[in-house]
Amino acid sequence: CSASTNKPTLTLFTKKPCPLCDEAKEVLEPYKRRFILQEVDITLPENSAWYDKYKYDIPVFHLNGKFLMKHRVDIPKFEDRLRKLELQNE
Protein backbone atom coordinates (compact mmCIF):
# COMPACT_ATOMS: atom_id res chain seq x y z
CA CYS A 1 0.00 0.00 0.00
CA SER A 2 1.52 3.31 -1.04
CA ALA A 3 -0.89 5.45 1.00
CA SER A 4 1.80 6.17 3.57
CA THR A 5 3.95 7.95 0.98
CA ASN A 6 1.00 10.05 -0.18
CA LYS A 7 0.36 11.76 3.12
CA PRO A 8 -0.78 15.36 2.73
CA THR A 9 1.73 18.03 3.74
CA LEU A 10 0.61 20.55 6.33
CA THR A 11 2.81 23.63 6.17
CA LEU A 12 2.98 25.79 9.29
CA PHE A 13 4.22 29.33 8.75
CA THR A 14 5.75 30.33 12.07
CA LYS A 15 8.46 32.31 13.85
CA LYS A 16 10.07 32.10 17.24
CA PRO A 17 8.62 32.62 19.75
CA CYS A 18 5.06 31.82 18.72
CA PRO A 19 2.83 30.63 21.58
CA LEU A 20 -0.14 30.35 19.20
CA CYS A 21 1.92 28.08 16.93
CA ASP A 22 2.83 25.87 19.87
CA GLU A 23 -0.82 25.71 20.86
CA ALA A 24 -1.82 24.86 17.27
CA LYS A 25 0.71 22.01 17.14
CA GLU A 26 -0.75 20.59 20.36
CA VAL A 27 -4.26 20.72 18.90
CA LEU A 28 -3.00 18.87 15.79
CA GLU A 29 -1.14 16.21 17.79
CA PRO A 30 -3.92 13.55 17.53
CA TYR A 31 -3.80 13.84 13.72
CA LYS A 32 -0.04 13.78 13.23
CA ARG A 33 0.07 10.27 11.75
CA ARG A 34 -2.16 11.47 8.90
CA PHE A 35 0.03 14.27 7.54
CA ILE A 36 3.60 15.49 7.21
CA LEU A 37 4.24 18.69 9.15
CA GLN A 38 6.55 21.15 7.46
CA GLU A 39 7.46 24.28 9.39
CA VAL A 40 8.52 27.46 7.61
CA ASP A 41 10.23 30.10 9.75
CA ILE A 42 9.10 33.35 8.12
CA THR A 43 11.94 35.31 9.76
CA LEU A 44 14.61 33.54 7.66
CA PRO A 45 15.93 35.65 4.76
CA GLU A 46 14.88 33.07 2.15
CA ASN A 47 11.29 33.28 3.42
CA SER A 48 10.92 37.06 3.25
CA ALA A 49 8.01 36.83 0.80
CA TRP A 50 6.09 34.76 3.37
CA TYR A 51 7.11 37.20 6.09
CA ASP A 52 5.65 40.11 4.13
CA LYS A 53 2.46 38.17 3.57
CA TYR A 54 1.93 36.61 7.01
CA LYS A 55 3.86 38.61 9.62
CA TYR A 56 0.64 39.66 11.39
CA ASP A 57 -1.24 36.41 10.89
CA ILE A 58 0.85 33.49 12.15
CA PRO A 59 0.25 30.72 12.65
CA VAL A 60 -0.84 30.21 9.06
CA PHE A 61 -1.49 26.74 7.65
CA HIS A 62 -1.37 25.51 4.07
CA LEU A 63 -2.47 21.98 3.22
CA ASN A 64 -0.69 20.59 0.15
CA GLY A 65 0.31 24.12 -0.86
CA LYS A 66 -3.17 25.63 -0.54
CA PHE A 67 -4.14 28.13 2.15
CA LEU A 68 -6.19 26.39 4.84
CA MET A 69 -6.48 28.54 7.97
CA LYS A 70 -4.75 31.11 10.16
CA HIS A 71 -4.50 32.18 13.82
CA ARG A 72 -6.21 29.09 15.25
CA VAL A 73 -6.75 25.51 14.15
CA ASP A 74 -10.22 25.06 12.71
CA ILE A 75 -10.64 21.34 13.46
CA PRO A 76 -13.84 20.70 11.44
CA LYS A 77 -12.34 22.43 8.40
CA PHE A 78 -9.00 20.66 8.86
CA GLU A 79 -10.64 17.21 9.25
CA ASP A 80 -12.84 17.80 6.22
CA ARG A 81 -9.94 18.89 3.97
CA LEU A 82 -7.69 16.10 5.26
CA ARG A 83 -10.37 13.46 4.67
CA LYS A 84 -10.94 14.69 1.10
CA LEU A 85 -7.20 14.44 0.35
CA GLU A 86 -7.02 10.96 1.87
CA LEU A 87 -9.93 9.79 -0.28
CA GLN A 88 -8.24 11.20 -3.41
CA ASN A 89 -5.09 9.23 -2.59
CA GLU A 90 -6.78 5.87 -2.06
- List the strands of the sheet with 66-70, edge to edge: 36-41, 9-14, 60-63, 66-70
Do 83 and 90 meet the contact criterion of CB atoms below 8 Å apart?
no
Query: Per-domain residue ranges for the chain?
Result: 9-88
CATH code of 9-88, in short, is: 3.40.30.10
**H/E segment holding residue 53:** helix 48-54
pLDDT of res. 1: 47
Q: Strand pairing partners for 22?
A: none
Q: What is the pTM of this model?
A: 0.91
Per-residue pLDDT of the chain (90 residues; tens, 9 = 90+): 454 568 999 999 999 999 999 999 999 999 999 999 999 999 999 999 999 999 999 999 999 999 999 999 999 999 999 999 999 988
